[in-house]
């Protein structure tokens, strides 16, 4: 069975399975999913808890022995496995062996980073998924952040104007832990409580919320693909201030351009947009920005941008007098649908 993390609580109100696999990179959401599972387990008599941190020295036989042994106090037990990298062959075999005949007195929870789409189609993954519940933890993107923040505020008897929520989004984007902390701080400082609802405005957000935004290259690319030039420039400035290198950003941008070009060529040959994106390995949660860019940018434009990306590479390596950051900015602006004025006065 496969569910998204926002479906977990409603799922647990109906049933508790013997095996859960939580996969994702958003620390706050992963921790909250774990807390929900532990609380549900405790309520159903799983009072003992055993944690295994899986590293290179870890023996999966330890987990199997724990899973098959009786508790010292005859209590039902939660076994939690935390894997920081990929699940190796030994881990896959051990989990398969355990789940072939699971101990009904155990609740087994596996926590891993996000799984690549290729993994989700493997035979071993499908076997594990069938044996329990796979909980996908997707990051909250810029478009979903206002709704997420409004819901969080509602839990603490807070509400806010749309422009106030927009400002809060700008200050905590890409950092859900900071967002949660700032919302809790707003609740404390404004005196909000179940019996006292409080509405905050933009002025209060400006006064009380620190700028804790944190970006990555995926935020940058999504902004450009969606055609949001203003946000694209803000994210690029943030990445530059955090010390990101031009070449690292350029590599991801060039890969995205090659993917867009390949999709446009498939569409030109008669493929449907969705089929073309799937054939080029575009993730489901990345289809919306890609589709937006495909509607706006022609194949010749994309090919020109890829050529310009090569010029950025030359600038970084000292083989051109151009400024690499300026050239990279121009490409991103064009990708976002904003005309760039050249030194000769024309539009790029």
Residue 342 domain flag: no
Query: And the tokens for 135?
Result: 């909980």
Domain boundary (137, 163, 184) is at 137
Query: Are 131 and 16 found together in one domain?
Result: yes
pLDDT tens digits for the chain (348 residues)? 999 998 999 999 999 999 999 999 888 999 999 999 999 999 999 988 889 988 888 889 988 888 877 655 557 889 999 998 888 899 999 999 999 888 888 999 999 999 888 888 899 999 999 999 999 998 888 888 999 999 999 999 999 989 999 988 888 877 888 888 889 988 888 888 888 999 998 888 888 776 666 678 888 899 899 998 888 888 888 888 878 888 889 999 999 999 999 999 999 999 998 899 988 888 877 888 999 999 999 999 999 999 999 889 888 888 888 889 999 999 999 999 886 655 444 444
Query: Are 131 and 244 found together in one domain?
Result: no
Question: DSSP class of residue 244?
Answer: -
Residue 279 domain flag: yes
Query: Are 51 and 120 found together in one domain?
Result: yes
Number of domains in the chain: 3
Residue 343 domain flag: no
Query: Are 93 and 152 found together in one domain?
Result: no
β-partners of residue 21 are: 110, 134
- CA–CA dist 310, 322 (Å, integer): 12
Asked if 146 and 162 count as a contact pair (C-beta separation under 8 A), the reply is yes
Domain boundary (111, 137, 163) is at 137
Shortest CA distance to 38 belongs to which of 111, 97, 92, 94?
Answer: 111
Query: And the tokens for 74?
Result: 């005859």
Mapping DSSP to helix (H, G, I), strand (E, B) and coil, where does residue 198 land? strand
- The CATH number given to whatever domain includes residue 30 is 3.40.50.300
State the pairing for strand pair 106-112/198-200: unpaired
- CA–CA dist 91, 109 (Å, integer): 13
Domain boundary (160, 188, 208) is at 208
Query: Are 133 and 232 found together in one domain?
Result: no
Q: Which helix (H) or strand (E) holds 92?
A: helix 89-100
Query: Are 221 and 244 found together in one domain?
Result: yes
Give the torsion sign (CA, 292, 338, 163, 179).
Answer: positive
Residue 160 domain flag: yes
Residue 344 domain flag: no
The residue behind tokens 């044996």 is 131
Query: Are 118 and 223 found together in one domain?
Result: no
Query: Are 190 and 98 found together in one domain?
Result: no
Residue 123 domain flag: yes
Query: Are 274 and 301 found together in one domain?
Result: yes
Query: Are 200 and 280 found together in one domain?
Result: no
Query: Are 151 and 168 found together in one domain?
Result: yes
Residue 100 domain flag: yes
Residue 57 domain flag: yes
Q: Can you give the residue range of the structural domain that contains 306?
A: 217-335
């Amino acid at each position: 069975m496969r569910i998204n993390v926002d479906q977990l609580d409603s799922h647990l109100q109906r049933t508790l399975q013997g095996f859960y696999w939580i996969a994702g990179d958003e620390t706050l959401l992963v921790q909250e999913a774990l807390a929900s599972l532990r609380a549900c387990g405790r309520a159903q008599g799983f009072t003992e808890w055993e944690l295994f941190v899986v590293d290179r020295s870890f023996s999966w036989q330890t987990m199997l022995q724990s899973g098959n042994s009786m508790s010292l106090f005859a209590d039902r037990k939660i076994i939690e496995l935390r894997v920081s990298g990929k699940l190796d062959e030994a881990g896959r075999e051990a989990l398969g062996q355990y789940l072939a005949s699971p101990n009904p007195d155990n609740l087994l929870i596996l926590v891993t980073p996000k799984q690549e789409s290729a993994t989700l189609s493997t035979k071993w993954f499908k076997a594990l998924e069938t044996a329990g519940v796979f909980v996908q933890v997707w990051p909250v993107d810029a478009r979903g952040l206002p709704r997420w923040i409004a819901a969080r505020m509602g839990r603490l008897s807070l509400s806010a104007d749309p422009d106030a929520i927009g400002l809060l989004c700008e200050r905590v984007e890409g950092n859900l832990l900071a967002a949660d902390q700032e919302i809790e701080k707003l609740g404390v400082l404004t005196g909000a409580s179940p019996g006292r609802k409080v509405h905050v405005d933009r002025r209060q957000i400006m006064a009380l919320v620190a700028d804790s935004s944190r970006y990555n290259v995926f935020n940058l690319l999504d902004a450009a693909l969606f055609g949001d030039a203003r946000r694209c420039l803000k994210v690029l400035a943030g990445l530059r201030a955090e010390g990101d290198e031009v070449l690292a950003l350029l590599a991801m941008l060039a890969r995205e351009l090659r993917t867009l070009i390949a999709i446009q060529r498939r569409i030109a040959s008669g493929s449907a947009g969705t089929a073309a994106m799937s054939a080029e390995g575009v993730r489901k949660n990345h289809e919306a920005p890609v589709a937006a860019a495909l509607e706006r940018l022609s194949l010749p434009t994309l090919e020109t941008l890829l050529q310009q990306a090569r010029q950025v590479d030359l600038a970084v390596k000292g083989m051109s007098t151009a400024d690499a950051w300026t050239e990279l900015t121009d490409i991103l602006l064009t990708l976002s649908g904003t005309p760039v004025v050249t030194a000769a006065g024309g539009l790029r």
